[in-house]
Amino acid sequence: MRDFRLLWAGETISLLGSNVAAVALPLVAVVTLHADTFTVGLLSAVAWLPWFLIGLPAGALVDRSRKRPIMLACNVISMVLFVSIPVAAWFGVLTVAQLLVVALLGGVTKVFFTTAYRAYVPLIVHDGQLLGANARLQGSESAVQVAGPGLGGALAQAFGAAAGLLADAVSFGVSALLLRFVKTEEDRPKRSERRLRAEIADGVRFLARDPYLRRLAVFAAISNVALEGYQAIQIVFLSRDLGLSPGLVGLALAVSALGGVAGAGIAGRISARIGTARAFLLAEAVAALLLLIGPFGLVTFVIAGIAINMGLLVSNILTVTFRQRYCPPELFGRITTSIATLSYGGIALGALLGGVLGEWLGVRPTMWIMAPLQFVAVLVVSPLWKERDFPNKSAGHPPHHLQPQP
């Protein structure tokens, strides 16, 4: 487990920086560059747009390649991208256009890193330890979602919003350094004589024919439109509608993220008691219900945030573990990016929709509109309640006709 601990530590540090940046980047737009609500939504949208544009070929390329070198390259490129923002700010030449370009290119590196990372974890962790490993990874993600926004707000308050992006750049460098010490040997994937388009089609075909993966992918796309439509404009809501300082914005988001820490801790116990499929569905239903109260004020926003983050972490742990056990390893990257193209494409659409509606209707009405949409997403996966558990390889491995075409 030494290699897993190194990977875990590096990803935790990188995620801490990214959560600092999640507050700092829109604060730079709002406070430093005085951007409008649409621009803030657009900034979030372009960061997720690469999943829709290059997700499918990225999955095929990752399946053809060793995973660790891809992750290392992505960390180094991301470090250079995000350090450019504070440098430009200090020289007085920072523009909204630069923020959009960095967000877009950072999104490209995230596509390749995340795909390689998710395919790499099963290579260094035994199958019986996957649920525990994913719980640790998601638990760390939740913990830094608590620390990151508070730190980002504090840095913005003390040194200016751009300082948080310098912290993000440093975190990418530390993550790359730790990843260098991972020693697990990867077998070089067999050289494929098939065209890239045919390999991409294998992943899409597998997803389209599998009832579990297909239903979860449609759910994720709809849910992400709703959640990102809400979250993309939450900093505008907190800073302009509620009049909070950058430090208090970070604090509100940090307290909201405490729900994720709780979710990571209870996912295993809930799924053992009622089943993995039912635990997933229950977590998402509770999150959808609490989304309704968020825009009423600061207290209700934080309560809703705690519930939403708890539900998301429980469902993420369970669905990621399900896919890692269920999907054939040789197709994992392509299946993951086929799903991500839909689900993260939903994030880009939701962020853009939140920005447009927020500018047109106002921030609070837009946040309320997203709650019914989240209920629609839950209805898509409601038949899973009768299953109790997600299938695994031994009980529900896809039949032969779903394997890659020759």
Domains and CATH numbers, the chain: 1-185 (1.20.1250.20), 202-386 (1.20.1250.20)
pLDDT of residue 194: 67
- Per-residue pLDDT at 402 exceeds 50: no
pTM value surpassing 0.75:
no
In this prediction, residue 135 carries a pLDDT of: 77
> What is the rounded distance in angstroms from the CA atom of residue 88 to the CA atom of residue 394?
54
Identify the pLDDT of residue 74.
93
Report the 3 state secondary structure along 72-103. HHHHHHHHHHHHHHHHHHHCCCCCHHHHHHHH
Q: What pLDDT score was predicted for residue 396?
A: 38
Within 10 A of 370 (CB to CB), how many other CB atoms are there?
26
Distance CA 220, CA 281 (A): 12
Distant-in-sequence, close-in-space partners of 316: CB < 8 Å, separation ≥ 6? 138
Distance CA 76, CA 55 (A): 20
- Give backbone dihedrals phi and psi of 290, rounded to 5 degrees, phi first: -75, -20
DSSP SS3 for 293: helix
Of 142-151, 308-317, 349-358, least confident by mean pLDDT is 142-151
Give the count of alpha carbons within 13 A of 286, CB side only: 20
Tell whether the model's pLDDT for residue 398 goes beyond 50. no
Longest dimension (CA), the chain: 60
Higher pLDDT, 209 or 332: 209
Q: What per-residue confidence (pLDDT) applies to 393?
A: 63
d(CA 129, CA 159): 42
Which amino acid, residue 170?
V
Query: How many CB atoms neighbour CB 257 within 10 A?
Result: 26
Residue 395 pLDDT > 60, yes or no?
no
User: Sign (positive/negative) of CA torsion 120, 148, 343, 293?
Assistant: positive
Contacts of 241-246 with C-beta under 8 Å, sequence gap 24+, read 241/363, 241/364, 242/297, 242/298, 244/298, 245/157, 246/23, 246/27, 246/31, 246/153, 246/156, 246/157, 246/161
The pLDDT confidence band at residue 405, using thresholds 50, 70 and 90, is very low
What pLDDT sits at residue 193? 63
Residue 23 has pLDDT above 90, yes or no: no
Average pLDDT over residues 91-117: 91
* Cα 289 from Cα 243, distance rounded (Å): 26
Of 219, 108, 83, 93, give the one whose Cα is nearest residue 163: 83
Mean of per-residue pLDDT scores for the chain: 85
Other CB atoms within a 10 A radius of the CB of residue 67 amount to 24
State yes or no: pLDDT of 60 exceeds 60.
yes
Q: What is the pLDDT of residue 172?
A: 92
- Rounded Cα distance between 337 and 323, Å, is 12
The DSSP-derived string for 235-260 is HHIIIIIS---HHHHHHHHHHHTHHH
Residue 276 burial class via C-beta count within 10 angstroms: exposed 0-12, middle 13-18, buried 19 and up: buried
Q: Please give the structure tokens belonging to residue 377.
A: 């997403």
**Residue 82: pLDDT above 90?**
yes
pLDDT in tens, 160-192: 778 888 988 999 999 999 999 988 777 776 666
Q: What is the pLDDT at residue 403?
A: 39
Question: Per-residue confidence at 329, pLDDT binned at 50, 70, 90?
Answer: confident
| Residue 312 pLDDT exceeds 90 | no
CB 68 within 8 A of CB 186: yes
Summary count for the chain: helices (H), strands (E): 16, 0
Exposed / middle / buried, residue 375 (Cβ in 10 Å: 0-12, 13-18, 19+): middle
Tokens of 232: 């993309």
Q: What is the DSSP string of 170-215?
A: HHHHHHHHHHHT--PPPPPPPPP-S-HHHHHHHHHHHHHH-HHHHH
Q: Is the dihedral of CA 211, 267, 286, 313 positive or negative?
A: negative
Mean pLDDT of 68-96: 93
